[in-house]
Amino acid sequence: MPDFFLYRRDEGTHSYHAGRFEAMASPCEVLIDSEDGALADKLSHIAQAEARRIEHKFSRYRDDNIIHRINHARGKPVEVDEETADLLDYAALCYDISDGMFDITSGALRRVWHFDGSDHIPSRKAVRNILRHIGWRKIRWQRPRITVPGGMEIDLGGIGKEYAVDRVLRLIGEVSPVSVLVNFGGDLAASGPRRHGRGWIVGVEDPGNIQQHPATVKLAHSREEFELLRGGIATSGDTRRFLQKDGIRYGHILDPRTGWPVPDAPHSVTVAAGTCTEAGILATLAMLHGAGAEAFLREQGVRFWCQR
Amino acid sequence: MQLKKKPAAIRQTLAVATASLLGGVAQNANALETSSDWEIDSALLFYAESDRIVLAEPVVRVRKDMGNDRFLTVKLVIDALTGSSANGAIPTASPQTFTTPSGNGTYTTQANEVPLDPGFRDTRGAVNADWELPLGENLTGIFGFNFSNEFDYQSVGLSATLNWETSHKMTTWTLGVGFNADTVKPVGGVPVGLTNMPVLPAIKATEGADHAKDVQDLVLGWSRVLSRRDLLQLSLGYGNESGYLSDPYKILTVVDGATGAPVADPAQRYRYEKRPRDRTRQSLLVRWSHQFENDVLRLSYRYYTDDWGVDSHTLDVRYRFELADGDYLEPHLRYYTQGAADFYHTSLIDGQSYDFASADYRLADMVTTTLGLKYGWALSDRSEFSVRAELMKQSADPSQVIGVQSQQDLVPDVDAVILQFGYTLQF
């Protein structure tokens, strides 16, 4: 099976190209507002290469990258490259401004929480024990050196896909001024108005997934659609991941400060912001606000869609 | 004062941090909206000097997003000015009578008081239009036209600014040029500089009904995002003014070089000022903005020098406290100090010859201190109301004090109050 497709979509006088590939465990798509097939091919390959680069570099499922080295240093300092350092700085800032709710060390909770739809709720003691290995403050980060104590781990997966979307948009912008929409599994960003002066039509669909369509195609089943000129959209949440015991549903959004699921979190939150990365952080933080998700987003003054 | 943390600051901090992460300047999240964005700024400013000028100034600015990164901005300003202004003559121990600029009447100043011309009444209308458009990748052009008119002054100008973003939009270079062609048409004609102010009903010597003044400006700017919290801006300015640069309504008192008292003959006692017909100025501006967790500190320093001998230093500090619900409180401190122009004379000595002379206190050794406070209410995420109140004190020094002049406050301090109401709306 080929790993890369390029389509041409005819839409009246304004055709565009769509490059499709698979990366970061998601279907990825780049819409290019140009009739130039060679250009579209070039830009799509740039997108694919960048998505794969970021996936390779920051995936926690590999044993040959910087994340693996950091997580297996057993308390020894690891010197990281500029890009990783920038992302760690960013994660540290997100930790600060969210009062510890956004924490890239929270992945260790997966050792006790298995969201398989079963009734396997971990014991309080197990959660308490695992919390000793969680908390960004326990990590020594002094650019460019990071020291992760044994038993702890970091995971940039909470930023990676959105970061990749914004990076691809930027790389394409350096090559060509054409308007593009980058969509990696529902997290997306657009670079600017299309040739006809309008944006890309984006639909927010049940259950919180996003699809994009040309301006002329109306989606009967989408809850809302609007024109995206520039900026990013990201979604947090997945309704299929939960545990249920004694009639109580435990959502998969875990508060790294308590180790327990956030009560009353929405099924999904979609946020529109200046970039896909910002939108992603805001969507994640909103989920962590549980019942207060909508109030939090309203305070931020961003456009959002909450599904409960 | 209890300053609550503003929740929306998370989004702003995040926007700046993300821009730094991705290597670029912060994107405006509002850019999400479709291409029918309007932005309206309106303000009403009052400026009142104690016992002197009162100014009311309504301003309306409309910015329209025309799509494809093109913006049209139109600004309308009306200045309504009333009150009196120092005419340049010194206060003396006896009352003084002056001929009005029109030559049709007189006004009298009491003994030991600073002579003020009470006929200061003027309305100025100004319109300014800017067209902003992308000229290429990372290059933006802004082309402007401005026109202003009042009954004794007219100005027409064109400007062009190029902004070039480099290093992944971390650095912006700015090149700006401006040209203004002005016309001065004083009441009663343009007086011949340094000739005597006639005593009614005599006619003053004039150089005609109007004079031209040309102004050229060149600005070179550089700004750089230093970190996710810091922005540094540098700007160099070069300007030239040529033509009629004097104030046609300002005079100087001719005094006895030994006693300091005005000369006895009223027809010889006052002379019209005269400034050089050319002025070349240079300036350097450094501005640093730092964002704390929520609050923003803005510091700027400006150095100015010109070939009239005026050198000035301006220090400006603003600190914006972000309060709850999008409100903010911003204290402002400005300190300005200036060295006098070479031809600034508080009075002229009888029998000496002068190439140029002006007693305008704005050309004297001067210190201006401004203290202000601004409060902004976020009415919604797309509209804001603000009130700004400032107190300004100008203290100028005389160029020299001769004999009996020491009994007078030759250049009294000028205190002013500024009050501004602003309203901004996006839709």
Distance CA A165, CA A24 (A): 11
Predicted pLDDT at A240: 52
Cis? peptide before B95, omega within 30° of 0: no
Q: Is the pLDDT of residue B197 over 80?
A: yes
Judge whether B4 is closer than 8 Å to chain A, CB to CB.
no
Predicted pLDDT at A215: 36
A82-97 and B9-21 helices, crossing angle to 10°? 180
Instruction: Classify B383 as helix, strand or coil.
Output: strand
Assembly ipTM: 0.81
- Determine the average pLDDT of the residues in B210-232: 90
Other residues' Cβ atoms within 10 Å of the Cβ of residue A81: 10
User: Cβ contact (<8 Å) for A167 and B14?
Assistant: no
- Determine the average pLDDT of the residues in B289-317: 93
Distance CA A230, CA A199 (A): 8
Question: Who's near A249: CB < 8 A, 6+ residues apart?
Answer: A242, A243
Q: Where are the beta strands (DSSP E) in B87-152?
A: 96-99, 106-109, 116-117, 122-136, 139-150
Q: Is A297 exposed, middle or buried (0-12, 13-18, 19+ CB in 10 A)?
A: buried
User: Cβ contact (<8 Å) for A93 and B11?
Assistant: no
What is each CA distance from B17 to A104, A226, A281, B111, in whole angstroms? 17, 27, 12, 64
| Interface with chain A: mutation pick from B10, B32, B35, B380, highest number of A CBs within 10 Å | B32
User: What does the domain layout of chain B look like in residue ranges?
Assistant: 9-36+122-414
* B251-255/B348-349 β-pairing: parallel
User: Cβ contact (<8 Å) for A300 and B7?
Assistant: yes
Quick one: which of A283, A267, A287, A266 has its CA closest to A275? A283
Instruction: Name the more confident of A14 and B316.
Output: B316
Sheet (strand A230-236) strand order? A4-9, A16-23, A26-32, A180-184, A187-191, A230-236, A268-273, A303-307
User: Cβ contact (<8 Å) for B31 and A296?
Assistant: no
Predicted pLDDT at A254: 86
Token look-up 């609550």 returns: B4
Contacts of A231 in chain B (CB under 8 A): 27, 29, 31-32
* B328-339/B311-322 β-pairing: antiparallel
Find out if CATH 2.40.160 is the number for domain B9-36+122-414: yes
- Determine the average pLDDT of the residues in A95-106: 91
In the 3-class helix/strand/coil scheme, how is A122-184 assigned residue by residue?
A: CCHHHHHHHHCCCCHHHCEEECCEEECCCCCCCCCHHHHHHHHHHHHHHHHHHHCCCCEEEEE
Quick one: which of A275, A273, A251 has its CA closest to A263? A251
Other residues' Cβ atoms within 10 Å of the Cβ of residue B122: 15
pLDDT band at B272 (very low <50, low <70, confident <90, very high): very high
